[in-house]
Amino acid sequence: MIDIVVIEDDVRLGGLIASYLERHGYRVLHQADGLCAEATITAHAPAMVLLDVTLPGRDGFEICRSLRPRFEGVICMLTARTDDIDQVVGLELGADDYIGKPIEPRVLLARIRAHLRRTPSPDKESDALVFGRLQLDRGTREVRFRDLRIELSAAEFDLLRVLAEGAGRILSRDDLFKALRGIGFDGADRSIDARVSRLRRRFGDDDDGSQRIKTVRGKGYLFNRDGWA
């Protein structure tokens, strides 16, 4: 489950926003293409959308107008276009807030928290992923396997969550980098591979031949939903 979708065509800025919010406990997805933005939001149904106005393919005003009648979450316009008329247009189209760039990260975080405090929390059960004897709670970020709590770093938890949410599908390194950092794989960074190795050790993968997190040569990684008995 994604908490916040960031629609920002500046890949570096969008990645920085996503990384900052993830460090403060939010599950974030960054999308840079205005043409894909509405489909991404509809697919993930986040609690909040941070929506830039100036986007390639389709601008934020048009996305907000189309999305608002069927999207119950918070829409915050996050843009350098701070003229009064733009703010009025954005709010009249259904945006809940209009935030000017640049903005201090701590101030942005405070605005986000204020909005989400007023948004009803989803049912706690919806935050749980269960595969056999593996339980992964996306709300509390707690992982249990065979009735034992597994201590994971924040980065390890995030990778496990992304893999588990894509259970049964091969996720390439590019898929994983985009989900975790909002940027594509550069072909040289081996941090994902190192993190997968640590996850395997923590769960005793391969020791019993289960291959819970499989390497698919030349393609990526696959979370084996049947390997957690």
**What are 94-124's pLDDT values in tens digits?**
999 999 888 899 999 999 988 887 765 544 4
Element of type H or E holding 12: helix 11-23
- Is the CA virtual torsion 74, 75, 80, 82 positive or negative? negative
Element of type H or E holding 137: strand 134-137
User: If you compute the radius of gyration of the chain from its CA atoms, what whole number of angstroms results?
Assistant: 19
- The pLDDT, as a whole number, for residue 124 is 42
Is residue 206's pLDDT more than 90? no
Domains, in order of start, for the chain: 4-117 (3.40.50.2300), 124-223 (1.10.10.10)
Dihedral angle computed from the Cα positions of residues 38, 42, 44 and 48, in that order, rounded to the nearest 10 degrees: 70
**DSSP string of 55-89, one letter each residue:** -SSS-HHHHHHHHGGG--SEEEEEES---HHHHHH
Is residue 181's pLDDT more than 80? no
Helix axes 105-117, 11-23, angle to 10 degrees: 60
